[in-house]
Amino acid sequence: MKNWIVALLMTTALPALAEGDVNAGAQKAASCVACHGAEGKAAVPLYPNLAGQNAAYLNHALQAYKKGERSGGQAEVMKAFVAGLSETDMADIAAYYNSLKP
């Protein structure tokens, strides 16, 4: 019985945590364009392409940058960019980049 309840919670609660508003994310991603490109495709190999990336992964990555859980590379730059973002902002940005074609 416990396993069934856990499975139910995993399939109903977790996807909602990663959901965001694509249109709001498009507006909020304006500062991301300089490095990640207008359509989520970076012009410089140093920066990752974000178009089509998994929204839950992107949301988790943004939160990790904000909490200082990521280091190396451009982590300090990303930490500065996400410092003022709310959880909703991060979910919206993740949803926006997920919606773009790779």
So what's the pLDDT on residue 10? 47
pLDDT higher than 60, residue 27:
yes
> For the stretch 2-16, what's the b/e string if a residue is b when 16 or more beta carbons lie within 10 angstroms of its beta carbon?
eeeeeeeeeeeeeee
| Cα angle for residues 4, 5, 6 (degrees, 5° grid) | 90
Residue identified by tokens 């997920």 is 98
Please check whether residue 52 lies inside any domain of the structure: yes
Whole-number mean pLDDT of the chain? Answer: 88
Asked whether the predicted pLDDT for residue 39 surpasses 90, the reply is yes
Taking the mean position of all CA atoms in its chain, how far away is CA 31? 14
Instruction: Give the pLDDT score at 62.
Output: 98
Which DSSP category does 26 fall into?
H
Q: Residue 6 pLDDT more than 90?
A: no
Query: How large is the average pLDDT for residues 29-57?
Result: 96
Residue pair 94/25 in contact (Cβ under 8 Å)? The answer is yes
Residue 64 above 80 pLDDT? yes
What is the tally of structural domains in the chain? 1
In a domain, 32, yes or no: yes
Is 44 a member of any domain? yes
Task: Flag whether 4 is in a domain.
Answer: no
Which pTM does this prediction carry?
A: 0.81
Distance, in Å, from the CA atom of 26 to the CA atom of 93, rounded to the nearest integer, reads 7
* Domain containing residue 48: CATH number: 1.10.760.10
Q: Which domain holds residue 22?
A: 15-99
